[in-house]
Amino acid sequence: MNDLSLLQKKRLKYKPTLPKLLIDLEKVQFRKIDSKSPLKDLENLFPNTFSLPAYELVSGQGTHKPLKIGVVFSGGTAAGGHNVICAIFDTGAKVIGFLNGPSGIVENQSREIKDVSLYRNQGGFDLIGTGRTKIETEEQFAASLKTVTEHKLDGLVIIGGDDSNTNAALLAEYFLKAGCTTKVVGIPKTIDGDLRTDEIEISFGFDSACKTYAELIGNIERDALSTKKYYHFIKLMGRSASNIVLECALATRPNLALISEEKRGLDGIIEEIVNLVIERNAAGKDYGVILIPEGLIEFVPELNEMAKELNLEKDPHGNVQVSKIQTEKMIIDLVEKELAKKNFKGKFNVQGHFFGYEGRSCMPTNFDATYCYALGTLAALCIREELTGVICSIQNLSKDPESWTLKAVPIIQLMHIETRLGKQKPVIQKALVDVNGTSFIYFAAQRKRWQIEDQYCYPGPIQYFGDPDLCDLAPQIVTDIQKPHASTSDSS
Amino acid sequence: MNDLSLLQKKRLKYKPTLPKLLIDLEKVQFRKIDSKSPLKDLENLFPNTFSLPAYELVSGQGTHKPLKIGVVFSGGTAAGGHNVICAIFDTGAKVIGFLNGPSGIVENQSREIKDVSLYRNQGGFDLIGTGRTKIETEEQFAASLKTVTEHKLDGLVIIGGDDSNTNAALLAEYFLKAGCTTKVVGIPKTIDGDLRTDEIEISFGFDSACKTYAELIGNIERDALSTKKYYHFIKLMGRSASNIVLECALATRPNLALISEEKRGLDGIIEEIVNLVIERNAAGKDYGVILIPEGLIEFVPELNEMAKELNLEKDPHGNVQVSKIQTEKMIIDLVEKELAKKNFKGKFNVQGHFFGYEGRSCMPTNFDATYCYALGTLAALCIREELTGVICSIQNLSKDPESWTLKAVPIIQLMHIETRLGKQKPVIQKALVDVNGTSFIYFAAQRKRWQIEDQYCYPGPIQYFGDPDLCDLAPQIVTDIQKPHASTSDSS
């Protein structure tokens, strides 16, 4: 076992505040609720699950039985995932972890999770690993069926994003059709914040990622203001959608934050940055901070063309790896050229940054730790009450956890049909920034003021409170390792 | 005024624990102490300050007089600088801030600091800005003399690194020679941790920067372990020395941390990484985390040659900007080529990172906040007691602040002579990692174990404790800005 850092040890002791209904699991049951019908077109694809209703958790009399539950992480990491598993474990269920993502189900690679004590409120997915395999072919579905049947699983909890939850719905349908009693439950995970529907207020991991990025952006803003030397172009992870950029912009008030969903076109974007640079120069300011969503390239055909001309690395599926395209560098080049054309005499010194991996496996914030623990408990309850093809939906998240509402919503209610390569595919549409939504409108009303005035906000790492043991230590090279911060005495 | 984030507001209220002697400034005085003599060769350059002794602050009877003190930041930002100024302000002195670095002295650009209430325990140098001008020519020295004379300054506090403290010594000498009574006091600042001598245990800012980088490195380690997909090559700021890499390695236990001072040569470095990749592959691990000091290039002539062949951006002094050289990319390329030669069949997917600016202007850790407040108070006392050409030296930093010892050491005691462009120049040698020192030896004893076993440690942002108001909020786009985290109601 690795030695844990001081903070890891402290976080192990953190107790999420639970929604009231989750305090005594024997006294809750599900009640059917009205909900929208799935799209009619989905009926062919989901004959066995098409008519299943949505449920809300309410007080009542719960059943009591020993459960065996499989869990799997799917896709990129997001802070809080371990708490989903811890919560399922804490219900008393026997927990089987499928290893390194959905391939662990297909290939029946698993291990029983007998101890979660070192994973409470910890970041990452390393308890069982994760992976990006999609369960798509008949062979893969059949193999998955074989696996859950062999394990005699009461349920399978799939912790993933839009594609993974679509997969969960397909597996639920497949299992039902085959007469298999294993229930399938989805958990909304992704730092990108693009798994948002009427039912899903936010996916877990988004909060922790944004708070990490906002810490760094704020630090860089303060550096820019102090040294007055650089324009910092900061690209943020988040796939297609600009949710992360919007959230971070609200937290840090940069001089400019590009929101792909505004669809301004390349000329519009370059013009906006060039004007910003010229206006700030006139105000005596040759520095600034600009946020760029990694998905911008998908909304700007010209950038996409330019990227194709560069010989870009592709992932195993043949897709260009969006996060590797140096969009920020391409934009910087274009801005430089345009400034030269306009005979700009000021300074335009730039630094490029990309933040992504830093925010995916951080320790979950209290919000994500709590949210995930509640999601995991809810998933176990869904399985106990024999619901399948549902996603765990917790609402009123901006209120105290005690007043959160807990629902189980058929995943197909979230679905649309898309034609991909001539084939009809059920998909959960990625939630982009809604340019008519309250958050964007608020942002749009503020941003002009942020451009020239420096209205930077420095959220910081929320780092400096609480336990003096954690905060007051001198650097290790000063203490010359007389007393290392993380003891190694009990290591393997 | 900008709206402050919640953490900024909290940090404003943080009260550093003071060394006992700094609690009642009327009851302290300086006592001469034995100290080493400056190099004989420095006598010509410093005839007026050569024989000045070192002092220690002790209980006694202090003088009491109204003081007027100039302050200036010099060079890159480092967390805690504002506390130096706050502390001087709190002694009751009239404080003149020179703007945007030493050029503010030469050009007499200044403003009186009448309010520090929004800068206590805050990051950055934005209260008065910073800059990199060196005071070198006779005209600059004369202009500086004119400025301090016009302001009738009792003292000038220079907050900077090795070069800036050398400058402080030269100014002290110049002022004395001219019969000017303005005292000059240096404060050891730099995140690089390379201003370390017998007298200076560490410069301020190092701790905050390393803790920020270690947070990010730990997060990335956890992501690597969870997804098992990438080798992350993380370059860290720090100029020539590898102090930051060593400190961060001790805190995070990466698979490999290059320490330039080991002088392994390019072949040795590439071989080490290639062997690591091959050995880890044999253990089923095609991922890892490798730390690279930005100064590596200065120790590896071949890398330097390669960099020169690239057409690299130069700073206004004609120097290649070390932090812009993508050392990590050059190394990755060489490793890839060598792996191909060896017919390596595993995966070697890489992500490059560079952390620098993120850690310079972060909020100071409790350690840096406290250290800086003590340094600032000590600087004001030096001026009150008419010491000049000294640097503030606080020792026993790994102990409680109450038992820190406070000294004023002639800067020339830290100096060496270097021949630069045929001219003899007094310099404070940059403190590199001492490969015979306790910290390095401890690191060297551990690192083999970190290579194949993943002994990652995740220090985290120390982010999740204390005030629930700070920690428990949902993302802003969830609350739809009903209640933005940082209120904007009272903004300008």
Helix/strand/coil for B56: strand
Q: How far apart are CA A327 and CA A273, in angstroms?
A: 14
Residue B84: name the closest of B112, B123, B110, B58 by CA: B123
Same domain for A320 and A289: yes
Say whether pLDDT at A464 is over 80.
no
Nearest Cα neighbor of B440 from B231, B315, B293 is B293
Considering the domain boundaries, does residue B484 fall inside one?
Answer: no
**Average pLDDT rounded to a whole number, residues A110-136:** 97
Give the count of domains, chain B: 2
For residue A465, being part of any structural domain is answered with no
Neighbours of B12 (CB within 10 A): 14
Cβ-defined contact of B474 to A3 (cutoff 8 Å):
no
Eight-class DSSP state of B324: G
Per-residue exposure over A183-199, b if at least 16 CB sit within 10 Å of its own CB, e if not: bbbbbbbbbbbbbbbeb
| CA dihedral for B144, B146, B150, B153, sign (positive or negative) | positive
Helix, strand or coil for residue B120? coil
* Contact yes or no for A8 and B446 at CB 8 A: no
CA neighbours within 13 Å on the CB side: how many for B294?
17
Mean pLDDT of A344-368: 94
β-strand partners of B189 = B204
Cα–Cα–Cα angle for B429, B432, B436, rounded to 5 degrees = 120
Each residue of B287-307: pLDDT tens digit?
999 999 999 999 998 888 887
The pLDDT of residue B492 is 32
Say if residues B161 and A260 touch (Cβ distance below 8 Å). no
Nearest-CA distance B99 → chain A (Å)? 10
pLDDT of residue A304: 83
Predicted local distance difference test score (pLDDT) of residue B93 = 98
Q: Tokens in use for B90?
A: 């709190």
Contacts of B351 in chain A (CB under 8 A): 357
- pLDDT above 80 for B409: yes
Note whether B84 and B66 are same-domain residues.
Answer: yes
Measuring CA to CA, which residue among B491, B7, B278 is closest to residue A454? B491
ipTM, interface predicted TM-score of the complex: 0.92
Contact A475 B3 (CB under 8 A): no
C-alpha A122/C-alpha A364 separation (Å) is 6
Q: Does residue A480 form part of some domain?
A: no
Where residue A53 falls (left for φ over 0; alpha for ψ -120 to 50; beta otherwise) is: beta
Q: Whole-angstrom Cα distance, residue A170 to residue A165?
A: 9
Q: What is the pLDDT of residues B214-249, one digit of tens each?
A: 999 999 999 999 999 999 999 999 999 999 999 999
Q: Which residue of A has its CA nearest to B242?
A: A477
CATH of the domain at B185: 3.40.50.450
Contacts of A126-129 with C-beta under 8 Å, sequence gap 24+, read A126/B222, A126/B225, A126/B226, A127/A82, A127/A85, A127/A97, A128/A71, A128/A72, A128/A73, A128/A85, A128/A97, A128/A98, A128/A99, A128/A100, A128/A104, A129/A73, A129/A99, A129/A100, A129/A101, A129/A104, A129/B226, A129/B227, A129/B228
Q: What is the pLDDT of residue B320?
A: 57
Inter-chain CB proximity A478 and B129 less than 8 Å: no
Q: Which two tokens stand for residue B46?
A: 């410093």
B324 pLDDT band (50/70/90 cuts)?
Answer: low
Is there a single domain that holds both residue B271 and residue B394?
Answer: no
Question: Pairing mode, if any, of strands B94-98 and B110-113?
Answer: antiparallel
**Residue B130 domain-assigned?**
yes
Are B296 and B228 part of one and the same domain?
Answer: yes
Q: Do B129 and A247 touch (CB under 8 A)?
A: no
Q: Are strands A54-59 and A28-33 parallel, antiparallel or unpaired?
A: antiparallel
- The reply to whether A155 and A243 lie within a common domain is no
Residue A465, pLDDT above cutoff 60: no
Question: B246 and B366: one domain?
Answer: no
Are A366 and A347 found together in one domain?
no
Q: What is the pLDDT of residue A483?
A: 42
Cβ contacts of A75 within 8 Å, gap of 6 or more: A101, A130, A132, A160, A161, A163, A164, A189, A190
Selected residues 54-83 of chain A with any CB under 8 Å from a CB in chain B: 73, 76-77
- Judged by a CB distance cut-off of 8 A, whether residue B161 touches chain A is no
Computed over every residue of chain B, the mean pLDDT equals: 90
Query: Is B401 in a helix, a strand, or coil?
Result: helix
Residues A83, A190, A257, CA angle at the centre, nearest 5°? 130
pLDDT for B157-191, tens place per residue? 999 999 999 999 999 999 999 999 999 999 999 99
pLDDT score of A76: 97
Helix, strand, coil shares of chain B, percent, nearest 5, are 40, 20, 45
As a whole number of Å, the end-to-end CA separation of chain B is 6
Asked whether the predicted pLDDT for residue B308 surpasses 90, the reply is no
Instruction: List CB contacts (< 8 A) between A466 and chain B.
Output: 462, 465-466
The per-residue pLDDT for B309 is 73
| pLDDT value at A97 more than 70 | yes
Question: What's the full length of chain A, in residues?
Answer: 492
pLDDT band at A376 (very low <50, low <70, confident <90, very high): very high
Per the model's pLDDT, the better-predicted residue between B463 and B369 turns out to be: B369
The SS3 call for residue B353 is strand
How far apart, in whole angstroms, are the C-alpha atoms of residue A175 and residue A141? Answer: 9
Are the CB atoms for B216 and B355 separated by under 8 Å?
yes
B485/A251 Cβ within 8 A: yes
Name which of A221, A257, A264 is nearest A242 in CA terms: A257
pLDDT band at B8 (very low <50, low <70, confident <90, very high): confident
Determine the distance in angstroms separating the CA of B10 from the nearest CA of chain A, rounded to an integer. Answer: 9
- Looking at the structure, do residues A135 and A280 belong to the same domain, yes or no? no
Residues within 8 A of A (CB atoms), B 19-58 only: none
Q: Which residues are within 8 A (CB) of A285 and not within 5 positions of it... i.e. 6 or more apart?
A: A228, A452, A454
Tell how strand B68-73 and strand B155-160 pair up.
Answer: parallel
Q: How many residues does chain B have?
A: 492
B interface test, pick of A464, A467, A480 with most B CB neighbours within 10 Å: A464
A196 belongs to a structural domain: yes
Instruction: Report DSSP letters for B127-143, one per residue.
Output: TT--------SHHHHHH
In percent, the amount of chain A with pLDDT more than 90 equals: 78
Q: How confident is the model at residue A460 (pLDDT cuts 50, 70, 90)?
A: confident
Chain B residues whose beta carbon lies within 8 Å of the beta carbon of residue A348: none
Given CB atoms, is A353 within the 8 Å cutoff of chain B? yes
CA–CA distance, B303 with B337 (Å, rounded to integer):
15
Which pLDDT score is estimated for B1? Answer: 41
Mean pLDDT of B113-138: 97
* B484 compared with A244, residue with greater pLDDT: A244
Same domain, B160 and B213: no
Q: Does B464 touch chain A if contact means CB atoms closer than 8 Å?
A: yes
**Residues near A55 by beta carbon (within 8 Å), at least 6 away in sequence:** A30, A31, A32, A33, A385, A387, A390, A407, A408
Q: Do residue A255 and residue A147 come from a single domain?
A: no
For residue B492, being part of any structural domain is answered with no
Interface membership of A475 toward B (CB under 8 Å): yes
Distance (Å, rounded) from C-alpha A29 to C-alpha B398? 56
Q: Does one domain contain both A70 and A136?
A: yes
Q: Between A307 and B67, where is the model more confident?
A: B67
Range of the domain at A165: 6-205+361-420
Residues of chain B contacting residue A8, judged by C-beta atoms under 8 Å apart? 457-458, 460
Contact between chains at B219 and A360 (C-beta distance less than 8 A): yes
**Across the interface, do A476 and B251 touch by the CB < 8 Å criterion?**
yes
The CA angle A360-A361-A365, to the nearest 5 degrees, is: 90
What is the reported pLDDT for A490?
36
Test A218 with B478 for CB contact under 8 angstroms. Answer: no
pLDDT of B57-98, one tens digit each?
Answer: 999 998 888 999 999 999 999 999 999 999 999 999 999 999
Q: Does B446 sit within 8 Å of A129, measured CB to CB?
A: no
Residue B313: per-residue pLDDT: 57
Q: What is the pLDDT of residue A419?
A: 87
For A147-189, the pLDDT digits (tens) are: 999 999 999 999 999 999 999 999 999 999 999 999 999 999 9
Give the helix/strand (H/E) hosting A392. strand A390-395
Residues of B with CB below 8 A from A365's CB? 463-464, 471
To test the contact with chain A by mutation, choose from B219, B289, B314 the residue with the greatest count of A C-beta atoms within 10 A, namely B219
Which of these, A401, A294, A366, A354, lies nearest to A79 by C-alpha position? A366
Global pTM value:
0.93
Confidence of residue B422 (pLDDT cuts 50, 70, 90): confident
Instruction: Please check whether residue A463 lies inside any domain of the structure.
Output: no
A343 and A289 within one domain: yes
Residue B469 confidence (pLDDT) above 70: no
Output the CA angle A64-A66-A70, nearest 5 degrees: 125
Q: Residue A232 belongs to what H/E stretch?
A: strand A231-236
* B207 within 8 A of B406, measured Cβ to Cβ: no
Compute the nearest-CA separation of A108 from chain B (Å).
18
Helix (H, G, I), strand (E, B) or coil at A398: coil
**Annotated catalytic sites of A, by residue?**
192
Please provide residue A163's backbone torsions phi and psi, each rounded to the nearest 5 degrees.
Answer: -65, -40
| The predicted structure's pLDDT at residue A432 | 95
pLDDT of residue A463: 42
Residues 219-258 of B with CB under 8 A from A: 219-220, 222-223, 225-228, 230, 232, 243, 246-247, 250-251, 253
CB contact under 8 A, A464 and B438: no
A446 has a chain B CB within 8 A of its CB: yes
3-class DSSP string for A68-126: EEEEEECCCCCCCHHHHHHHHHHCCCEEEEECCCCHHHHCCCEEEECCCCCCCCCCCCC
User: Which domain CATH number covers B238?
Assistant: 3.40.50.460
Q: Which of B192, B194, B207, B454 is catalytic?
A: B192
Residue B432, in any domain of the structure: no
| A6-41 confidence digits (pLDDT tens) | 888 888 988 988 999 999 999 999 999 999 899 999
A359 and B219 within 8 Å at the Cβ level: the answer is yes
pLDDT in tens, A37-69: 999 999 999 999 999 999 999 999 988 889 999
Instruction: Compute, in degrees rounded to 10, the torsion defined by CA atoms B175, B181, B184, B185.
Output: 160
Instruction: Please enumerate in sequence order all residues whose Cβ is within 8 A of that of A78, keeping only pairs 6 or more positions apart, or say none.
Output: A189, A190, A191, A203, A204, A205, A206, A208, A209, A360
* pLDDT more than 90, % of chain B: 78
Cβ atoms A75, A130 nearer than 8 A:
yes
